[in-house]
């Protein structure tokens, strides 16, 4: 607006006052001035803009009121009244003001602004006048006059500052509204908002100011919302200068830009329409700290509850997601933390976040992996639907993280989800089903080696899966249905957990028993052994040992503490009593002055593991009631997600497991009555479990529960005679365990069974054989004599030496248990009966063990077909080979029989681990491992695992290596914990397996050509398979010990065939390969070894000459080079002068003869692989199996043609369609095919006698390798003289039968 020309006051400068108002000058008092001004204010208040006469009349007064006298008057009331008058003057004279001087106008508005500070005190008597002043200014928009002033910005800044400073919570809505109107009109009607004015608004949004004056923040927030269209440009300009151009000096608020953006976005996202692209630019800054600040800001913007920024600005969202992969660790960490809020507030963005969280769940930084878990779990705890299966899968993976902190967070997070949604069903069955895998996964972790993991699983089980704080009935219901829903591995883990806890209770019980004995050195040594074992079952074994020693000392001094601990581990201790004992023991060990007590924490760990917080007599009774309800059909089985049959079976299995760990809790008539009902059920598994529970817990039945006894005996007799094999076994053991007159009871079973044996009905033979075998093992003195007759006349003569039925000729090497013929199942049980009979006798006075070992060896030599009539199918032969190998291994566990097992029989047994059938190798290896890890088998059997290096299946080799690691660790730990074990060093020290391994490899049937590289390579691989594990650490100079041991073997001769020059040479060659491997893998092996290794005389004999010294090197330099690098030594340039040249690009094919080790993994009657598929059959001997196990044991395995397509093996042959399997047998490991046994002499001479050195009759097939090809020798085998071979086989069978019958008699 334009200012008018200076108006002259009416009456030539004379001032007219309203009627009744005298002249106002500086000559009168302030009170009088106030009195007269009030009348002036009243006059102006009553005037309106249409009163032209009055306006002209009082123009002089208006100019007078703007004089310095009034504007600078020290009296507050005067200034207020003048300000009110001036405000009315601007209203009356609008749109033209009576003041023409710019300076005067500035002074007036600054004066009025200063008076507005009076609004602060709402209780002031003058507040209404201040409110009138504000209302008048806002209504008239008086400040808009200032737009024409050059320095109007100063006025506006002062006004805004004043209003923001005076507003408070005592102001009503009208005051706030007028302030808003006044400020918004200035912003919206002006030409723009300067940076200084913008700062006066934005400063109220900064957190520090926001917290000081909430009303100012609300005022600024409302102002920005109202003026968003006008002020957005100014805001964008401010952020552009600070963020993009880096001009931080433009404003004092530059350092608060990110806080301001967050607040502005919360107020109205439209305020930042032009700012968001600038943030995308900042996200790509080279400064990590700057990126971090932007990420923190955007995390708040994207994660805000009602934010739609991610959908409205996809480019910025994608750029932000890219920061999940930022190189700066704090940036990645901030992104992961943001994900939690984002998942909770924006479930629709979960898909975008999933892939980035997946990458971060594998982040190298522990803190980031940890926070990924926290993010997902927090979202899941709020609502399970917020996290998809993929996100939960990330947490599942991290339960196996290398860092304990991450693993713990993942496990605890999953446990919390399980308790909330599966146990308490807070989100219904659908959610519970979604995470039903958690229970299995958590228990699977118990398989980990770390004791911390095991302890946490136990804690989770006790607090989250089956909370011990629940009432007994509710607690057992949780356990009952949890056990029914677990997978097989989780069940095993839970059983192992109870077993470990029970073992630890036993150790503590033994420790307390030692405290009752007089002090002695032996007692102290034994006590230390117990303490070390207990410490191993606690975290941080080093500290645990010290704390356990201290705890043991406290136990010795405090008898009351010992009593409490004895009560805690007592078999009769109830769960409630256990809690009281733990609390009392903890109280006794608490020291109030210590803020942290690591000793007490360690003792708590021990108490938590040994305290029976779940199982007692009351709990077992509750479980039995649940089982009865399931049997009666009145339980909630279907609602809990299990069928009644599953609930019954798993319930019995649960009780069976608990019968091992808490047998005393079962002793009640009610419990046994329920178990008797289970014995009468049709489900075989249920009845078997019930018998086993009786066996484990029924020691007092005969003396205290006569009625149960009288009902149980006939049932056990019936199960032993006509039950399943497993039931029969358990029934016999149950009778032996719980009845005093067991001899009479067993005789009543033995006699009718022994008379009813009939080999013509094998289906009815299996259970009697099981019962007879276990009876003879449990009561050898009573039944040894009648058993010998049964063994000689029936087991060997009628059953094992006769094949009554023709097997299924489907060519498969293995079939399911249901497909095995009853006759073969009976033969397998007959072999087991022989072993049990011998294990019961535990002596070889009658030489029965020698005869049995010869029989088992013959079974292996004949590949399972003992009669060699070819009536048995290949799958049945596999079963019998496995049974024979397992039987020898079982007999070897008894010292009296181990001593009579010859090296040849040991080798035959060991070679089963390289059987052509995958399942035979697998099951045999598992049995071998279990016996070794329990220290039941002699050390020499550990050497058998070296042969697994030849297994074509990668998984089998990996399993064998794990078995080796476990067995070696167990033996080393046993020696550490048992000082007396050093006296048996030769039988325990893992390094002493090397002589057995060398001897075994020297007699490997594949080792027929000692100087052939491929065979030496196989020997090297087998040696390194074992030595790699042994040489992991050079403890006590073990590498030098190994070297010296092998060197000593070279100075002996083979005890198995001491006069055989070739056999001894093979032994020395294996020694040289072993020395070569040791020297190449260790730099410490050449050190001096003070210990002189002891060699087993059963395998090695001293040389006849005392001065014998074998310093010959049996490996040529070229062979060593090839063993080291796999390539021959490069030929010198001059050495190639007379070599024939080859045409470039053309392959030179040479005829090679493949060694016996290159056998197929198919059946022995499989067709040969196509020669076109062979590139280097020997070099492929160790190639991983690419086919499935089913194909491995198939008659016609799948091969691939040149195009890489799978075709049946016959399709890759050039053989005619009618070619029979008899004409092209796959070469077996260690012995030629039967059809080739009578090959022409000329052919044998042509092959250089290789077959003759193969150890014919060794009976072991090589593990089938689907990538290996048959040798050239087997292709050229001639099938002449087959009839002569058949006659010889028949004659051999008759001789073998006669020999075995004589040996058994």
Q: Given a cut of 50, is residue 1181 above it in pLDDT?
A: no
Give CA–CA dist 717/710, Å, rounded: 12
**Residue 525's pLDDT is what?**
86
pLDDT single digits (tens) 433-445 = 899 999 999 999 9
Angle at 389 between CA 388 and CA 394, to 5 degrees: 105
Burial class (CB in 10 A: 0-12, 13-18, 19+), 1198: middle
Helices first, then strands: H and E counts in the chain: 60, 4
Closest of 453, 437, 436, 435 to residue 445, by C-alpha: 453
**Residue 1200's pLDDT is what?**
40
**Residue 945's pLDDT is what?**
95
The residue with greater pLDDT, 1146 or 80, is 80
**Residue 269's pLDDT is what?**
82
CB 438 within 8 A of CB 414: yes
Give CA–CA dist 1115/649, Å, rounded: 62
The radius of gyration computed from the CA coordinates of the chain, to the nearest angstrom, equals 48
* Cis peptide bond N-terminal to 95, omega within 30: yes
CB 445 within 8 A of CB 411: yes
HSE-up (13 A, CA, CB side) for residue 498 = 19
Angle between helices 228-239 and 195-202 (to 10 degrees): 100
CB 939 within 8 A of CB 972: no
Q: What is the pTM assigned to this prediction?
A: 0.73
Q: Work out the average pLDDT over 272-281.
A: 80
**Helix%, strand%, coil% for the chain, nearest 5:** 65, 0, 30
**Residue 564's pLDDT is what?**
92
Give CA–CA dist 566/1075, Å, rounded: 56
HSE-up (13 A, CA, CB side) for residue 737 = 18
**Residue 1222's pLDDT is what?**
34
Angle at 1157 between CA 1153 and CA 1159, to 5 degrees: 90
The DSSP call for residue 1102 is E
Encoding tokens for residue 1291?
């004659």
**Residue 534's pLDDT is what?**
92
HSE-up (13 A, CA, CB side) for residue 503 = 11
The DSSP call for residue 1227 is P
**Residue 13's pLDDT is what?**
56
**Residue 62's pLDDT is what?**
78
Q: Work out the average pLDDT over 343-358.
A: 89
Q: Work out the average pLDDT over 1066-1074.
A: 93
Q: Given a cut of 70, is residue 72 above it in pLDDT?
A: yes
**Residue 500's pLDDT is what?**
94
pLDDT single digits (tens) 583-641 = 999 988 887 666 778 899 999 999 999 999 999 999 999 999 999 889 888 888 888 88
Q: Are strands 1198-1200 and 1206-1208 parallel, antiparallel or unpaired?
A: antiparallel
Contacts of 853 (CB under 8 A, 6+ apart): 888, 891, 897, 900, 901, 902, 905
CB 179 within 8 A of CB 134: yes
Contacts of 516 (CB under 8 A, 6+ apart): none
CB 576 within 8 A of CB 612: no
Range of weakest confidence among 622-631, 1015-1024, 1215-1224: 1215-1224
Kindly report the backbone phi and psi dihedral angles of residue 1100, in degrees, each rounded to the nearest multiple of 5, phi listed first. Answer: -135, 135
For 955-965, b where at least 16 C-beta lie within 10 A, e where not — what string? ebbebbbebbe
| Alpha-carbon torsion, ordered 1049, 1050, 1051, 1052, to 10 deg | 60
CB 298 within 8 A of CB 316: yes
Write down the H helix ranges in 950-1087. Answer: 954-977, 985-988, 993-1002, 1013-1030, 1038-1050, 1061-1081
Cα distances (Å, whole numbers) of residue 596 to 227, 592, 593, 601: 60, 9, 9, 9
Confidence bin at 1010 (pLDDT 50/70/90): confident
Q: What percent of the chain has pLDDT over 90?
A: 38
The residue with greater pLDDT, 375 or 592, is 375
CB 742 within 8 A of CB 735: yes
Range of weakest confidence among 447-461, 1076-1090, 1094-1108: 1076-1090
Q: Given a cut of 60, is residue 80 above it in pLDDT?
A: yes
Kindly report the backbone phi and psi dihedral angles of residue 434, in degrees, each rounded to the nearest multiple of 5, phi listed first. Answer: -60, -35
Q: What is the torsional sign of CA 284, 290, 294, 296?
A: positive
The residue with greater pLDDT, 31 or 1246, is 31
pLDDT single digits (tens) 472-505 = 999 999 999 999 999 999 999 999 999 999 999 9
Mean pLDDT of the chain: 81
CB 545 within 8 A of CB 535: yes
pLDDT single digits (tens) 1136-1173 = 333 333 333 333 333 333 333 333 333 333 333 333 33
User: What is residue 1305's three-state secondary structure?
Assistant: coil
pLDDT single digits (tens) 112-150 = 888 888 888 888 888 888 888 888 888 888 888 888 888
Angle at 416 between CA 412 and CA 418, to 5 degrees: 115
193's torsion region: left (phi>0), alpha (psi -120 to 50) or beta? beta
Cα distances (Å, whole numbers) of residue 650 to 622, 647, 738: 15, 5, 25
Give CA–CA dist 1039/1047, Å, rounded: 12
**Residue 983's pLDDT is what?**
67
The DSSP call for residue 1265 is B
**Residue 502's pLDDT is what?**
93
């Amino acid at each position: 607006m334009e200012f008018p020309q200076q108006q002259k006051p009416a009456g030539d400068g004379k001032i007219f006052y309203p009627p009744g108002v005298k002249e106002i000058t500086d000559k009168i008092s302030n009170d009088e001035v106030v009195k007269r001004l009030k009348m002036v204010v009243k006059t102006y208040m009553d005037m309106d803009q249409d009163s032209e006469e009055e306006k002209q009349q009082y123009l002089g007064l208006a100019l007078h009121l703007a004089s310095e006298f009034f504007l600078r008057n020290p009296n507050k009331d005067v200034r207020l009244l003048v300000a009110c008058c001036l405000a009315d003057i601007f209203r009356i004279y609008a749109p033209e003001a009576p003041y023409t001087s710019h300076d005067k106008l500035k002074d007036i508005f600054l004066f009025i602004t200063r008076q507005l500070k009076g609004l602060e005190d709402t209780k002031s008597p003058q507040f209404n006048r201040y409110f009138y002043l504000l209302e008048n200014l806002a209504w008239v928009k008086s400040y808009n006059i200032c737009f024409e002033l050059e320095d109007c910005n100063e006025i506006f800044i002062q006004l805004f500052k004043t209003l923001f400073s005076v507003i408070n919570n005592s102001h009503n809505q009208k005051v706030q509204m007028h302030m808003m109107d006044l400020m918004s009109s200035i912003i919206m009607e002006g030409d723009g908002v300067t940076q200084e004015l913008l700062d006066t608004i934005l400063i109220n949004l900064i957190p520090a100011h926001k917290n000081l004056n909430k009303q100012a923040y609300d005022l600024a927030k409302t102002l920005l919302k109202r003026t968003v269209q006008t002020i957005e440009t100014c805001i964008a300009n401010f952020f552009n200068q600070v963020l993009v151009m880096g001009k931080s000096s433009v404003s004092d608020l530059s350092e608060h830009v990110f806080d301001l953006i967050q607040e502005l976005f919360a107020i109205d996202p439209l305020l930042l329409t032009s700012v968001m692209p600038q943030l995308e630019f900042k996200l790509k800054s080279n400064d990590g700290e700057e990126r971090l600040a932007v990420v923190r800001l955007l995390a708040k913007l994207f994660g805000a509850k009602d934010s739609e920024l991610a959908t409205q600005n996809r480019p910025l969202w994608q750029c932000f997601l890219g920061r999940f992969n930022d190189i700066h660790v704090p940036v990645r960490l901030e992104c992961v933390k943001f994900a939690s809020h984002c998942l909770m507030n924006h479930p629709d963005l979960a898909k975008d976040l999933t892939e980035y969280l997946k990458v971060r769940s594998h982040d190298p930084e522990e803190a980031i992996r940890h926070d990924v878990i926290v993010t997902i779990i927090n979202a899941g705890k709020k609502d399970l639907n917020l996290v998809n299966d993929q996100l939960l899968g990330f947490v599942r993976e991290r339960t196996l993280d290398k860092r304990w902190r991450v693993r713990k967070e993942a496990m605890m997070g999953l446990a919390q989800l399980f308790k909330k949604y599966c146990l308490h069903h807070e989100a219904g069955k659908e959610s519970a089903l979604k995470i039903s895998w958690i229970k299995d996964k958590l228990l699977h972790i118990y398989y980990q080696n770390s004791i911390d993991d095991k302890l946490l699983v136990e804690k989770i089980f006790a607090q989250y899966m089956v909370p011990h704080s629940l009432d007994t009935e509710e607690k057992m219901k949780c356990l009952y249905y949890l056990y029914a829903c677990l997978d097989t591995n989780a069940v095993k883990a839970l059983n192992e957990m109870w077993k470990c806890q029970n073992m630890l209770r036993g150790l503590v019980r033994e420790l307390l028993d030692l405290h009752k004995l007089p002090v002695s050195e032996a007692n102290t040594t034994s006590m230390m052994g117990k303490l070390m074992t207990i410490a191993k079952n606690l975290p941080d074994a080093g500290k645990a040992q010290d704390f356990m020693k201290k705890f043991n000392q406290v136990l010795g001094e405090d008898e009351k503490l010992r009593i409490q601990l004895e009560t805690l581990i007592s078999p009769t201790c109830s769960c409630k009593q256990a809690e009281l004992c733990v609390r009392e023991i903890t109280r006794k060990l608490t020291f109030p002055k210590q803020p942290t007590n690591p000793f007490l924490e360690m003792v708590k760990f021990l108490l938590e593991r040994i305290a029976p917080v779940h199982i007692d007599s009351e709990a077992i009774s509750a479980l039995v009631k649940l089982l009865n309800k399931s049997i009666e059909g009145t339980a909630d089985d279907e609602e809990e997600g299990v069928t009644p049959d599953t609930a019954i079976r798993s319930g019995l299995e649960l009780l069976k497991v608990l019968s091992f760990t808490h047998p005393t809790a079962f002793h009640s008539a009610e419990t046994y009555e329920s178990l008797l009902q289970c014995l009468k059920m049709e489900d075989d598994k249920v009845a078997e479990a019930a018998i086993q529970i009786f066996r484990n817990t029924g020691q007092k039945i005969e003396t205290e529960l006569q009625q149960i006894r009288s009902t149980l005996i006939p049932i056990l007799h019936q199960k032993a005679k006509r039950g399943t094999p497993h039931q029969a076994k358990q029934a016999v053991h149950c009778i032996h365990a719980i009845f005093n007159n067991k001899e009479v009871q067993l005789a009543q079973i033995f006699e009718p069974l022994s008379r009813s044996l009939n080999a013509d009905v094998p289906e009815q033979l299996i259970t009697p054989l099981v019962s007879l075998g276990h009876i003879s093992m449990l009561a050898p003195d009573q039944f040894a004599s009648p058993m010998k007759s049964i063994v000689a006349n029936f087991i060997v003569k009628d059953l094992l030496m006769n094949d009554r039925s023709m097997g299924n000729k489907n060519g498969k090497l293995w079939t399911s248990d249901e497909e095995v013929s009853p006759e073969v199942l009976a033969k397998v049980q007959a072999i087991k009966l022989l072993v049990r009979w011998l294990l019961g006798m535990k002596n070889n006075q009658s030489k029965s063990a020698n005869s049995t070992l010869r029989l088992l060896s013959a079974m292996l030599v004949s590949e399972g077909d003992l009669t060699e009539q070819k009536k048995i199918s290949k799958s049945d032969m596999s079963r019998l080979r496995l049974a024979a190998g397992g039987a020898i291994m079982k007999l070897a566990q008894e010292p009296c029989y181990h001593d009579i097992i010859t090296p040849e029989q040991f080798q035959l047994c060991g070679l089963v681990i390289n059987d052509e059938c995958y399942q035979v190798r697998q099951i045999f290896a598992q049995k071998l491992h279990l016996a070794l890890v329990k220290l039941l088998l002699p050390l020499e059997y550990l050497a058998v695992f070296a042969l697994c290096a030849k297994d074509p299946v990668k998984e089998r080799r990996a399993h064998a290596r794990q078995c080796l690691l476990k067995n070696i660790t167990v033996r080393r730990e046993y020696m550490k914990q048992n000082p007396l074990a050093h006296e048996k060093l030769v039988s325990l020290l893992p390094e002493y397996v090397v002589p057995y391994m060398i001897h075994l490899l020297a007699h490997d049937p594949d080792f027929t050509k000692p100087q052939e590289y491929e065979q030496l390579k196989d020997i090297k691989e087998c040696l390194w398979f074992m030595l790699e594990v042994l040489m992991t650490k050079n403890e006590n100079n073990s590498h030098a010990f190994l070297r010296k041991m092998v060197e000593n073997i070279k100075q002996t001769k083979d005890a198995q065939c001491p006069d055989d020059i070739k056999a001894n040479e093979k032994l020395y060659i294996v020694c040289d390969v072993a020395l070569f491997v040791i020297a190449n893998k260790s730099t410490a092996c050449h050190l001096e070894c003070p210990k002189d290794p002891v060699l087993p005389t059963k395998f090695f004999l001293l040389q006849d000459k005392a001065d014998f010294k074998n310093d010959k090197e049996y490996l040529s330099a070229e062979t060593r080079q090839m063993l080291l690098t796999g390539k021959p030594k490069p030929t010198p340039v001059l050495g190639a002068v007379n070599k024939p040249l080859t045409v470039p690009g053309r392959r030179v094919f040479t005829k090679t003869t493949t060694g016996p080790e290159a056998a197929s993994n198919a059946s022995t009657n499989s067709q040969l692989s196509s020669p076109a598929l062979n590139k280097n059959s020997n070099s492929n001997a160790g190639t991983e199996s690419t086919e499935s196990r089913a194909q491995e044991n198939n008659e016609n395995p799948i091969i691939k043609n040149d195009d890489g397509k799978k075709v049946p093996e016959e399709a890759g042959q050039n053989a005619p369609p009618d070619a029979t399997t008899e004409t092209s047998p796959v070469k077996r490991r260690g012995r030629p095919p039967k059809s080739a046994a009578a090959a022409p002499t000329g052919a044998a001479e042509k092959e250089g006698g290789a077959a003759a050195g193969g150890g014919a009759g060794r009976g072991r097939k090589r593990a089938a390798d689907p990538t290996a090809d048959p040798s050239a020798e087997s292709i050229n085998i001639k099938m002449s003289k087959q009839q002569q071979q058949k006659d010889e086989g028949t004659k051999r069978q008759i001789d073998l039968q006669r020999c075995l019958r004589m040996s058994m008699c």
